Each structure stands twice: as structure tokens, then as C-alpha cells.
């Protein structure tokens, strides 16, 4: 199959591309705008593969999309603005990419009768105190990030019902692992702990997330692309749930630091308390998570320790200004 992977220079997209080139005969075209979160470094080890091609462009640009689509069979759309905090301070790009960008991709998929897989998130369901969300739970998003992702999901579903497009939606829980930009909880805490910087914990630190190793999510998306039923949505939850504070304390241990680096900071507005997904439907297709959180976290800390080439340019660039705006304090030298 020839697949266009939009947002393939980001964290999950690049892991998907790597896994797919290694485990299938697919040819892959990555279409990516290269925002601050999209980095060719994420694709460095597949760049020379003859089955791989990179096109720089935005999903909301119909010409860029048309240019990437020649001869393809499917679109897998990872392209998104993905950080909840940024959606609170600067929501514009979230609306543009998730609403307009998804629309442009759907129109292109319709014109060429392509299979279309939308990568979505558990955040579209909102927060849940007890139990787990199924695919038929109502959508109650809390942030501009999750609201625009939910809107995109609804648009995708409408193209299936109205135009008969072969659509699929995968809603993943919190991913972690190699190549994740250090604005997200785990890589931010790992790099700060390694450097001896403060670790900013929002609110009381008791929010719960359902952790999913990135290679497991990438494999599930491939599974759904190959075996999913057209028009269906599949939840993909991780095997373990954990409070933020427990995650942060374990990272400190793995980095040889103590709790004195923890700094409690003002809570995120509209902060969802807990996410939890029921994933029976995707398991019935034959997928299951292979990585438990404890082992995956150790592997992730090791990866960041060993790949300073990847994160050093981020920590020394514009990221420092973002960090000051977001947290009100700076990183060490």
C-alpha cells in the first residue's frame, strides 16, 4: 500500500513511519508542515529508505496535499497541534489545523476514493472519575485542543455517512517514549531531572493518565488501517494508569535525583482529572499493548540519556522562551 502520513515528522507519526517501513511493504510519503514540534531529526534513520519520501507542506493547503497524494491508497492523519497548554494560550492554530486541515484532507480522500484514518485522542471524551470510556461515550471535550480534535472526529464521521468514504478513527490515550517533544509531562520531567532543573507539577499532582508506549500505539494504528471496519472508531488505551506525582517521583529515582526538585505550580485551567479508555474493540481485532508502564518508562529515560544530540538543540533554542512564558522560571544553563 502507498500511504500518505501527515504529521509524520512528529512524535507518534515518526514512530509509525519507522514501524511501518520495518514491518510492511508500504511506501510512505510524509506530508508535514514542520512546526516547532515537527523535526526531520525524528526521521533521520529512515530518510535514505527508497520506500520513503518527505514533502514539506500544510494539511490546510490543498495544493500541498494534492502534490503529496499522487498514486496513494490511504491517508493516515497525525498532523495536529498537540499541546493542551498551548491551546489555552494560543488556540488559533488548533482551529486551523484540526478543522480546516482535516476538511482539506477529507475532500482529497473523497476525490480519490482513498482510505482515511484519523488519529484522535481520549481527550475528546473529557474527564472520567471512575470506570472507562467506550467508543460510544459522549464527546465532552474540555480544552480548545480537545474540542477541535472532537470537531475533526465528527467531520470524519460525516464523510463516512454522507459520502460513503472509507474512514477509520483511532483514539489513543497518553503516549510516551522516544522522540517526544519536551513540552509534554514525561520528556519535560526527564530532561529537567537529568539537568537538575525544577520539575513543575500542576495543582496537587493527583491527575491520572492512562499511559501507552508510543510503539504500541503506532502498531495499533497500523492494525486498524489494515483490519479495521470502515466507519468504525477504535479506542487504544495503555495497560497502566498512574497519578502524575507517582510518574514524576519514579522519573526522579531513575535519574538519581530526589523530591526536592519538585515545584508545585498553578494548575492548568480546565484540567481534566482522569482519562481512562476501554480498548476491547481494538483488542478484538488482534492488537494488544506489549509494554507495561514501568518498563517503558525506564526505556524512555535511557533513550533521553543516550540521545542528547536529539534534545540539546531544543533545550538551547526558542524552547527557553516558551518555558519562561509557561512556567515563569528559566531552565539552568
Residues annotated as catalytic (active site), given as ranges = 122-123, 145
- In the bound complex, what is the minimum distance in angstroms from residue 11's beta carbon to ligand DAU? 9
Measured from the CB atom, is 9 or 262 closer to ligand NAD? 9
State yes or no: residue 122 binds ligand DAU (CB under 6 A). yes
Beta carbons of 239 and 34 less than 8 angstroms apart: no
Residue number, nearest CB to ligand NAD: 10
- In the bound complex, what is the minimum distance in angstroms from residue 278's beta carbon to ligand NAD? 15
State yes or no: residue 87 binds ligand DAU (CB under 6 A). no
Touching ligand NAD, residues 14-73 (CB under 6 A): 32-35, 37-38, 58-60
Interior angle at CA 235, CA 143 and CA 212, nearest 5? 80
**Among the listed residues 26, 32, 123, 240, the single contact to ligand DAU using CB under 6 A:** 123
DSSP classification of residue 329 = S
**Among the listed residues 9, 84, 169, 248, the single contact to ligand NAD using CB under 6 A:** 9
Dist. CA 100–CA 64, nearest whole Å: 14
Measured from the CB atom, is 59 or 156 closer to ligand NAD? 59
**Among the listed residues 181, 293, 319, 323, the single contact to ligand NAD using CB under 6 A:** 181
Dist. CA 225–CA 118, nearest whole Å: 10
Q: What DSSP string describes 148-180?
A: HHHHHHHHHHHHHHHH---EEEEEE--EESTT-
Candidates 81, 86, 84; CA nearest to 98 is 81
State yes or no: residue 148 binds ligand DAU (CB under 6 A). no
Residue in the block written with cell 494534492: 66
Pairing outcome for strands 233-236 and 52-56 = unpaired
**Among the listed residues 97, 102, 132, 244, the single contact to ligand NAD using CB under 6 A:** 97
Beta carbons of 133 and 124 less than 8 angstroms apart: no
**Among the listed residues 108, 119, 208, 261, the single contact to ligand NAD using CB under 6 A:** 119
Sequence-ordered strand ranges (E) for 208-314: 208-213, 233-236, 240-243, 262-265
Residues forming contacts to ligand DAU in the complex (CB under 6 A) are 82-84, 121-123, 173-174, 184-185, 188, 200-202, 207, 209, 244, 268, 275
Residues forming contacts to ligand NAD in the complex (CB under 6 A) are 6-7, 9-13, 32-35, 37-38, 58-60, 78-82, 97, 101, 119, 121, 149, 172, 174-175, 181
Amino acid at each position: 500500500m502507498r500511504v500518505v502520513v501527515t504529521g509524520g515528522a512528529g512524535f507518534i507519526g515518526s514512530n509509525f513511519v519507522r514501524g511501518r517501513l520495518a514491518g510492511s511493504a508500504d511506501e510512505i510519503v510524509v506530508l508535514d508542515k514542520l512546526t516547532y514540534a515537527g523535526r526531520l531529526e525524528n526521521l533521520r534513520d529512515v530518510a535514505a529508505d527508497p520506500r520513503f519520501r518527505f514533502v514539506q507542506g500544510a494539511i490546510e493547503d490543498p495544493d500541498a496535499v494534492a502534490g503529496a497524494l499522487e498514486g496513494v491508497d490511504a491517508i493516515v492523519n497525525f498532523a495536529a497541534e498537540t499541546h493542551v497548554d498551548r491551546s489555552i494560550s494560543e488556540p488559533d492554530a488548533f482551529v486551523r489545523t484540526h478543522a480546516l486541515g482535516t476538511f482539506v484532507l477529507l475532500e482529497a480522500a473523497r476525490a480519490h476514493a482513498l482510505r482515511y484514518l484519523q488519529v484522535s485522542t481520549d481527550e475528546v471524551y473529557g474527564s472520567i472519575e471512575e470506570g472507562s470510556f467506550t467508543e460510544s461515550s459522549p464527546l465532552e471535550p474540555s480544552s480548545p485542543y480537545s474540542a477541535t480534535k472532537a470537531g475533526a472526529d465528527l467531520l470524519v464521521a460525516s464523510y463516512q455517512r454522507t459520502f460513503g468514504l472509507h474512514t477509520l478513527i483511532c483514539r489513543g490515550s497518553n503516549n510516551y517514549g522516544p522522540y517526544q517533544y519536551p513540552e509534554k509531562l514525561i520528556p519535560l520531567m526527564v530532561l529537567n531531572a537529568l539537568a537538575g532543573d525544577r520539575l513543575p507539577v500542576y495543582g496537587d499532582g493527583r491527575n491520572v493518565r492512562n499511559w501507552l508506549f508510543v510503539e504500541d500505539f503506532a502498531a495499533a494504528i497500523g492494525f486498524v488501517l489494515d483490519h479495521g471496519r470502515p466507519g468504525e472508531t477504535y479506542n487504544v488505551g495503555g495497560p497502566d494508569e498512574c497519578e502524575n506525582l507517582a510518574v514524576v517521583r519514579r522519573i526522579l529515582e531513575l535519574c538519581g535525583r530526589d523530591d526536592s526538585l519538585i515545584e508545585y505550580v498553578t494548575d492548568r485551567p480546565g484540567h481534566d482529572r482522569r482519562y481512562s479508555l476501554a480498548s476491547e474493540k481494538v483488542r478484538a481485532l488482534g492488537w494488544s499493548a506489549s509494554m507495561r508502564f514501568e518498563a517503558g518508562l525506564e526505556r524512555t529515560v535511557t533513550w533521553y540519556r543516550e540521545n542528547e544530540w536529539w534534545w540539546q538543540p531544543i533545550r538551547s533554542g526558542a524552547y527557553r522562551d516558551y518555558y519562561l512564558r509557561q512556567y515563569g522560571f528559566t531552565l539552568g544553563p
